[in-house]
Structures are given as structure tokens and as C-alpha cells.
Amino acid sequence: MLDFGSLLLATALSGACLSGTLVAIWLTARQSRFVLTMAVGILLLVTHVIAFWLYGQYASPWLGQGMLALLVAGFFVVFTSADQYIERGWSKPAALPVAGIIALTVAVTAAGFDGIGFVIAYSAVTGILVMTATAFWTCKDVDRRVLAPVSLLTGSSAVSFALCAFVIVQHKQWVLGGVPKNWAEDVNTVVVVACMTALGALTISFHHLRTQSRLTEETLTDPLTGLMNRRALNSLHGDTRFGRSMALAMVDLDHFKRTNDIFGHAVGDRVLQRFADIVRRQSRDGVEVFRLGGEEFAIVIAGKSALEVYDILRKIGASFGAEVVGTKLGPLRSTVSVGVCFGDDEARSLEQQLLGADAALYAAKRAGRNRVATAETADSGTYREPELLFA
């Protein structure tokens, strides 16, 4: 037989250290609420382990009730932490049923049937761990190589708790008067030690992954408009070869400097945000929008015919021209000029596309602004004279 007391001590010590580490991490990154929630869950389980050991020494009914309540509550808080990380929203509707199970467990144990209390608590924990494993495994936003060990650990723990409940039922131990002592409990203790340690370590890994993802997103996102920035354009399309199925458009807000000078930079920011909202609404599969700086934007369009490209750009230009921004000096309307450069059989580079689209943009401005022009020559099938966007 395993030294049961030593295993329980190892579980409590490991869990307490992990809980403290997670709290320290949360204090440096308070936006990661799931880290703090996991710390609380592990701390509840540590308290349960201590109470479990004490219940084996002094079988007090009050101690038994608290110990089983802590077990179910602790694993549910761990599940809540997982739910906060993957944002499935499963924990809130499950809270009331879990509270009911805890109340039932306490009532049955208070009535003297601690064996039945153990069966109910173990069955509840099995269900919670199955939900945790399922939530992680069905998450599509995290690498499977990270999710697999989490699902395996929580699934193994669920099986071990189910076995504990099964053995008590098999032996009809409805009244124990102490902690259960059987092979399933020994296996469960080992599995739970591994599970708690690994869940704490994986929570730290998840925190680092999320922090890295946020930093990457912030690096590639324009903070004012929420669109991707020039760095993102170079990152995504620096090596792209623009063939006939691709086009790049440069968009410039007309007379934007005058808008800032007359109406103020706050209004100018609102105009930029309105334009960003419009291009998001008009965007579809194969359309990516980037703010290059100031009032200049780039739109990469893939998998569309020339007619479809012009249709997308016309809709953006017309929708923005119809947009009204209220100011202290009265309503403000703005327009855009667009230059579009189509890829060709030579598979142009991003730099070539930008140069071509920029030249077309200036052609649209020379033609009177509020127009879309193309960088192609007059004998090209995609060439069009600068076309009015908003009448």
C-alpha cells in the first residue's frame, strides 16, 4: 500500500505552491482573470486535502461536510477558470446545479450517510472534469498540442473519481465514519497530484500564450481604427506574389488636412473611425484592410475578378461619401480617392503593387478626387478612366 498521508501532504504542498505562484503572476497581469480563478480553485482543493486528512483522523460530521463541499467547489472553480480562458460561457449556467449538488452532499453527510455523500461528491467532480476536458478539447482557438495534455489529465482525473464512487457503491459503504480506504482512493490521489501540478503549470503556459498573442495583436493593429497596420501588411504580404487573381488598392481620405484644421483632430479621428467601420462592413472573404498611417489605407483583395474589385471599391467610396459626421460647425461629409493596381502574370511583389496603386491614387486626385483610378495602361482589359465614387 502507498503511504497515504505522504501523498496527501505532497498534494497539499504542491497545490499551495502553485496557488501562490499563480497569484503572483496575476498581480503582474490583472487582465488575466482566469489565472486568479485557477489559483482560488487550487487553494480550495488544497484546503479540501487538509480537511480530508483530518477527517481520517477525527471523523467529525462538520469536517466531513466541509471537506466534500470544498472538493466539489474547488473543481468547479477550476472549471470556471478554464471557461474564462476559452470563453465558452459554460460555467455560469452550471453554477446553480453545482450549488444544489453541494447542498445535497452536505445534507446527506449531516444525516450520517457520509458514504453516500462521498458518492455524490465524486460523481459531481467526475461530471465537472468531463466538462472541463470537453471544453478544452472542443476549443478551436488554441493549438491541439497544448490542449491534448489538458484534456488527457482532466479526463484521467474524471475516471479516477468515477472509480472511487464505483468502489463505494460496489461495497455498499453508505456509512463510512472516516475517509474511504481502497485501491481506487490510492490511484485517485496519485492522479490528482499529477493533475493539480500540471493544471497549474499549464495555466502559466496559457497565460504566456495569451500575453504573447495580445502583444502580437497590438503590434499589428492600429489603435485608433482597430484595423491592421503597415507592419501587418508587410508581415502578411511581404512575400506575396500578386498574380491576376489579386489586387491592391490605396485609399486616401480627401482634404483630410483641411478637416483637421477646420474641425479639429478629434473630429478627424472620428472620420477615420467611421471609414474603418465602413470598410469592415463592406469587407468579405478575400478582402483585408490596413491603415498605413494618417489618412492613408491599403486594401488587399484576393480571388475576385476586376469587376468585383471595382464593385467593392465603389461600395466603400459611396458608403463613406454618404456618411455624415456631426460637428459643432455643422454636418461633415468626406470622400475618398482610390488607386488600384491589379496583379499580372509576372506575379508582382508587394512593393511593386504599392508603387502602382500609389501612382493610380495620384491619378484619381488629379482627376478631381472622389474617384477610383487604375494603374494599368489604356490597352489593358482592367483599365478604366478615373470613375466617380460618390455623386
Catalytic positions: 295
For the sheet with 287-293, list strands across it. Answer: 228-229, 287-293, 296-302, 246-253, 336-342, 371-374, 387-388
Give the residue carrying C-alpha cell 496583379: 343
Q: Does residue 359 sit in helix, strand or coil? A: helix
C-alpha cell at 253: 481620405
DSSP 3-state assignment of 342? Answer: strand
Q: Which residues touch 365 (CB under 8 Å, ≥6 apart)?
A: 252, 254, 337
3-state helix, strand, coil in the chain (%, to 5): 65, 10, 25
* Pairwise CA distance, residues 296 & 134, whole Å: 45
Q: What cell does 366 get?
A: 488629379
Residue (of 382, 383, 271, 272) closest to 327 by Cα position: 271
CB 67 within 8 A of CB 48: yes
Rounded to whole angstroms, the Cα distance separating 15 from 73 reads: 15
Task: State the helix-helix crossing angle for 350-366 and 230-237, rounded to 10 degrees.
Answer: 130
Stretch (H or E) spanning 217: helix 183-220
Q: Which residues contact 184 (CB under 8 A, 6 or more apart)?
A: 160, 163, 164, 166, 167
